[in-house]
Copies of this chain bind each other. A is one copy, B any other.
C-alpha cells in the first residue's frame, strides 16, 4: 500500500534463504511461512535456536537473553542480582485482592502514620506564644478531626463514582480539563516527594528520641532508610497486606493501649509527673494572634495527608470493591481520629512541651512519662519508626505509578513508562529517591522544617478533586446526584478554605516554594506534551493518497559512502569490502545506480599522503582514494568541508551521505585509551547533520 507497488514474486531459492532469518524454525518441526508476499509456503528444517521460540510466522519470543561477556558487565549483573533479584516475566505479574483488614493496612498507613507528628506540629506553632497557649491543642485537634470527617465522606462519594480508582489527577482531568488536572498532578507529585521526606524524617526522629546518641547522624540515617526503601521497591515490593498489616496493627495497638492507660490514669487522678526535655521553651516569642492559631491549624492539617489513598486503590479490594473501600475509609478515619484526639488530650493533661531542638518527639515524651523507659516505650518507638517508613514506601508506589500515567498521557518523558527487570517503574523510583534524599539533606532531617511545604499541595489536590466530583455529579445526574454533589461541594469548600489558610499562614515559611513550583511544573508538563505532539506530527506517515515523499522513496535516494582511512590496512579493507558487498559493487567501478564509494585520507603531510595514494593505487582495493590536505591539522573540519562540497553538488533532498569509519577495536577496553577517539569525535560532529549517517565497521583485534 505504502509504496503503491504490489509485492513481487521472488524465485523460491532466494525466498528460502531469506526466510531463514525472517522466520526461523524450531526443533524438527517444519514451519510454514505465509507472509503478505504470497502464499507459496517454504519448507525448511533448521536446528533449534537456543533461547528463541518461533510462536507464529514473523513472531519470535526471546526465552533467554544472552549472558554478558565482559568482566565489568558480569560484575554489574551479579551486584544487581543480589540487590534487586532475578528478572521477572511480564506474564508472571500477580494481582492481589485485599480484604478490608488487609486493605486497611495497605492504604491507611500513610494517613495513620501522620498521627505520629500531627499533635506535635500543632504544639510547635502554639508554643511560640508561650507554654500557656498549648491548651489550644485540643480544640484545634477537634477542628481538624471535623475536617477529616468532611473530607472522608466526600471521598466516599468519589469511591462510588470511580470504582476503577479515582486519583485527583484523573478526577480533575476528567471533569475540569487538562490544566486543572495537571495542577492536581503536579501538586500530587510534589506531595509524594514530601511524604517520603517527612515520613522518613519523622521515623528517624522516633529512633533518635529513643537513642539520643544517634541524633547527630540523623541525616545519614534518613538517607539510609530512603536507600533501603528504594532498593526494596526496585526489587518490586507489592502492596501486600502481609508486609503492611504487622506494623500498622502493632502501632495502632501499642498507641491505643498507651492512650487508654493514660486516660485511666487521668480518670483516677494518678497521672505521673512530667519532666520536660533539656532546654524546653520558656519565653514567649510571639503574641497569640488569630494568625498564629490558624498557622497551628494549618500545621495540624498535615493529619489529612494520605486520605485519598483508599479512593486511588478501589480496584485492589475484594468485591464488592466500592463498598469495601468505603467501609475501610471509614475505619481508617475512626482509627486515626481516636489516636490523634487521645494524644492531643494526654499531651494537654500532662502539660507536655515540644523539644525545641527536635531531639525528642512528643510521642516519645508521652510514652516516657506514662510507661517510663520500659519495653513498652521501645515498642511504641519502634513501631512508630516502622510505620513511618512504610508510609514513605506508599509514595514509592504512588509517585512512579502517577508518573507513568502522566507519561502515557505524554506529559512526562516516556522513560517513566518503562518497567524494569522486576516490573517496577525503575526511573520513577530512582527520581523520587534522589529528590526526597536531597530534601532531607537540605532540611537536615527536620520534620518541622518540611511541614510548611507539605500541606499546601495536598489541599490543592483535594480541592481540585472534590471540585471535579461536583462537576461529575452535575454532568451525569445519576440517582442520588444531588446529595453526592452537595457532599462533594462541602468537601471542596472546606478543603479550599484550608488550602488558602495553609497557603497564607505558611507562605513565608516555605509554602511559596510549592505555590511557585506548581505553575512551573504545569508549564513544563505542557511543554513536554507539546514536544511529543510536534514529534508525532512530523513522524506520522504521509497520507496514502499523497505521492511518496522523495526522502522516503528508495527508488530516488542517492548515496555517497565516504570511508575516512588512516592507512591502507585491514581495517580499511574491511570497511571497503563491507561497502562494496553491501551495495553489490563487487567489480571495481560497478554501480547499483544508487551508491558511490570514496575513500578519503585526511592529512597535514602531503608527502605522506602521496606515498599512501601510490600504495593505494598499486594495491587497488576497489575504490578510489582522495587525499584531503588539512592545513590546520584538524580532522573533523576538513571532512565536514568535503561533505558540504559534495552536498552542494547534489543538493536534492534525496542525496544521503554515509560516513563509514573503519574502526580497529582492541581486545581489551582499556586499550581504547591508546587509540585516538577519531570515530567518536566524527560521530559527535555529524550527529546533528541532516541526511548524514555514520557507521563504524569494526575490525576486531584478537589480542
- Flag whether A493 is at the interface (Cβ < 8 A): no
What are the residues of chain B within 8 A of A696 when measuring CB–CB?
687, 693-695
Q: Could you say which of A8-16, A131-139, A323-331, A448-456 contacts chain B?
A: A8-16
What are the residues of chain B within 8 A of A539 when measuring CB–CB?
567, 569-571, 664, 699, 701
Q: Could you say which of A63-71, A258-266, A437-445 contacts chain B?
A: A63-71
- Flag whether A320 is at the interface (Cβ < 8 A): no
Q: Could you say which of A100-108, A282-290, A379-387, A643-651 contacts chain B?
A: A643-651
- Flag whether A164 is at the interface (Cβ < 8 A): no
Given contacts A18-B589, A24-B649, A58-B627, 10 further A-B pairs with CB under 8 A are A10-B590, A17-B596, A87-B632, A415-B676, A539-B569, A539-B664, A554-B576, A584-B594, A665-B688, A690-B698
- Flag whether A177 is at the interface (Cβ < 8 A): no
What are the residues of chain B within 8 A of A89 when measuring CB–CB?
631-632
- Flag whether A573 is at the interface (Cβ < 8 A): yes
Interchain CA distance A676-B665 in the complex, whole Å: 27
Are A46's CB and B582's CB within 8 A? no
* A690–chain B nearest beta-carbon distance, Å: 4
Q: List 25 A-B contacts (CB under 8 A).
A: A2-B619, A2-B621, A2-B622, A15-B589, A50-B645, A51-B644, A52-B645, A58-B613, A58-B625, A59-B626, A59-B627, A60-B642, A61-B631, A65-B640, A69-B688, A88-B632, A91-B631, A538-B570, A542-B570, A554-B585, A554-B622, A557-B582, A559-B582, A665-B688, A695-B695
What are the residues of chain B within 8 A of A553 when measuring CB–CB?
577
Are A2's CB and B55's CB within 8 A? no
* A434–chain B nearest beta-carbon distance, Å: 15
- Flag whether A532 is at the interface (Cβ < 8 A): yes
* A-B complex: 10 closest residue pairs judged by Cβ atoms: A695-B695, A584-B592, A65-B637, A554-B580, A557-B581, A62-B638, A539-B569, A10-B589, A2-B619, A36-B617
**Nearest chain-B residue to A559 (Cβ)?**
B582
What are the residues of chain B within 8 A of A665 when measuring CB–CB?
687-688
Interface string of A560-579 (1 = CB under 8 A from B): 10000001111101101110
**Contact partner, A620, options B2, B538, B633, Cβ 8 Å:** B2
Interchain CA distance A273-B325 in the complex, whole Å: 97
Q: Could you say which of A203-211, A342-350, A666-674 contacts chain B?
A: A666-674
Are A649's CB and B8's CB within 8 A? no
What are the residues of chain B within 8 A of A606 when measuring CB–CB?
59
- Flag whether A483 is at the interface (Cβ < 8 A): no
Q: Could you say which of A112-120, A219-227, A418-426 contacts chain B?
A: A418-426
* A377–chain B nearest beta-carbon distance, Å: 47
Given contacts A554-B577, A688-B70, contact A3 B622 (CB under 8 A): yes
* A530–chain B nearest beta-carbon distance, Å: 10
- Flag whether A656 is at the interface (Cβ < 8 A): yes
- Flag whether A508 is at the interface (Cβ < 8 A): no
Are B570's CB and A413's CB within 8 A? no
What are the residues of chain B within 8 A of A36 when measuring CB–CB?
617, 620
* A674–chain B nearest beta-carbon distance, Å: 5
**Contact partner, A644, options B66, B604, B701, Cβ 8 Å:** B66
Are A51's CB and B641's CB within 8 A? yes
Are B581's CB and A531's CB within 8 A? no
What are the residues of chain B within 8 A of A178 when measuring CB–CB?
none
What are the residues of chain B within 8 A of A371 when measuring CB–CB?
none
Within 8 A of B (CB), among A17-71: 17-18, 20-22, 24, 35-37, 46, 49-52, 55, 58-66, 69-70
Are A1's CB and B645's CB within 8 A? no
**Nearest chain-B residue to A625 (Cβ)?**
B58
Interchain CA distance A673-B671 in the complex, whole Å: 31
Are B588's CB and A568's CB within 8 A? no
Interchain CA distance A693-B584 in the complex, whole Å: 17
Are A637's CB and B66's CB within 8 A? yes
- Flag whether A238 is at the interface (Cβ < 8 A): no
Given contacts A36-B620, A591-B14, contact A646 B581 (CB under 8 A): no
Given contacts A541-B619, A646-B21, contact A551 B535 (CB under 8 A): no
Are B584's CB and A5's CB within 8 A? no
What are the residues of chain B within 8 A of A641 when measuring CB–CB?
51-52, 62, 64-66
* A273–chain B nearest beta-carbon distance, Å: 56
Are B596's CB and A21's CB within 8 A? yes
**Contact partner, A633, options B90, B413, B644, Cβ 8 Å:** B90
**Contact partner, A24, options B638, B645, B664, B674, Cβ 8 Å:** B645
What are the residues of chain B within 8 A of A629 when measuring CB–CB?
55, 59-62
**Nearest chain-B residue to A88 (Cβ)?**
B632
What are the residues of chain B within 8 A of A69 when measuring CB–CB?
688
Interchain CA distance A48-B634 in the complex, whole Å: 23
**Nearest chain-B residue to A584 (Cβ)?**
B592
What are the residues of chain B within 8 A of A21 when measuring CB–CB?
560, 596, 598, 646, 649
- Flag whether A479 is at the interface (Cβ < 8 A): no
**Contact partner, A22, options B557, B559, B598, B690, Cβ 8 Å:** B598
* A606–chain B nearest beta-carbon distance, Å: 8
- Flag whether A499 is at the interface (Cβ < 8 A): no
